[in-house]
């Protein structure tokens, strides 16, 4: 690892490591149908992923053109969504093309890497288990693992510590990879180098995230990190 500038790399999950849109769409539409709300399209669901399931559902109801629902009704629909999602968590979800090769390259250099997601930890672990990725990760931090979630930098700082580093001293030796402002803002606030994935689920144009770099395919990740160091 002498010629590689990063000891630790953190990844968002949905829209970064794994393409989960189809399974999240199915679960969301299942919940919407139970309330007689029109279904969303794949393109629509991709604009509301990143802030956790409750936010995704709330924004999805708005996108469907339905009136806002009460907190109690939203909580009930969320239970319906999550039950469907847990039973069908990896029907269509797969790592993005090039992901596994990039992880192999990081392994070969002794880099420790982890997932920091706003998905609840239980569901993150179920998904990563189903895809055979859990054993490769130094840690998994979900949206409910800590008292805060992304974009709070404590999430990324905790990841660094769990990977064996010092959250302050090793921030410069850490990169954080994601596809939303939740990810890039958290990584930046923690003092890490940030990389945005243009192929992810964008709530806004990728250039407006102001990441240190942008990749269009996972094949670009390791070479880009080398140049950023």
Query: Token pair of 183, please?
Result: 């990810």
Among residues 12, 14, 19, 183, the one annotated as catalytic is 12
Query: Token pair of 12, please?
Result: 């968002």
Backbone conformation region of residue 23, classed left if phi is above 0, alpha if psi is from -120 to 50, else beta: alpha
d(CA 158, CA 150): 12
Q: Is 12 an annotated catalytic residue? A: yes
Strands (E), the chain: 8-11, 18-19, 94-95, 112-116, 140-141, 174-178, 193-197, 213-215
Would you list the DSSP string of 133-174? -GGG-S-EE-TTTSS--TTSTHHHHHHHHHTTS-TTTTGGGE
Answer for the pair 87, 106: CB distance below 8 angstroms, yes or no.
no
Q: Residues with catalytic annotation?
A: 12
């Amino acid at each position: 690892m002498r010629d590689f500038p990063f000891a630790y790399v953190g990844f968002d999950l949905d829209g970064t490591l794994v393409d989960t849109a189809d399974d999240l769409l199915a679960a969301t539409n299942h919940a919407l149908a139970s309330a007689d709300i029109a279904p969303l399209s794949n393109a629509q669901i991709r604009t509301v992923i990143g802030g956790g399931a409750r936010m995704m559902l709330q924004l999805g109801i708005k996108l469907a053109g339905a009136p806002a629902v009460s907190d109690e009704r939203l909580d009930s629909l969320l239970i319906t969504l999550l039950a469907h999602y847990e039973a069908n968590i990896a029907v269509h979800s797969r790592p993005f093309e090039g992901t596994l090769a990039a992880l192999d390259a990081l392994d070969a250099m002794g880099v420790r890497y982890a997932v920091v997601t706003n998905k609840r930890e239980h569901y993150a672990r179920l998904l990563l288990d189903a895809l055979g990725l859990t054993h490769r990760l130094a840690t998994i931090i979900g949206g409910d693992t800590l008292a805060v979630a992304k974009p709070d930098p404590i999430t990324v700082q905790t990841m660094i510590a769990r990977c064996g580093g010092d959250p302050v001293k090793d921030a410069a030796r850490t990169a954080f990879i994601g596809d939303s402002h939740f990810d890039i803002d958290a990584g930046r606030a923690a003092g890490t180098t940030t990389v945005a994935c243009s192929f992810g689920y964008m709530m806004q144009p990728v250039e407006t995230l102001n990441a240190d770099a942008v990749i269009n395919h996972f094949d670009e990740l390791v070479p880009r990190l080398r140049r950023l160091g």
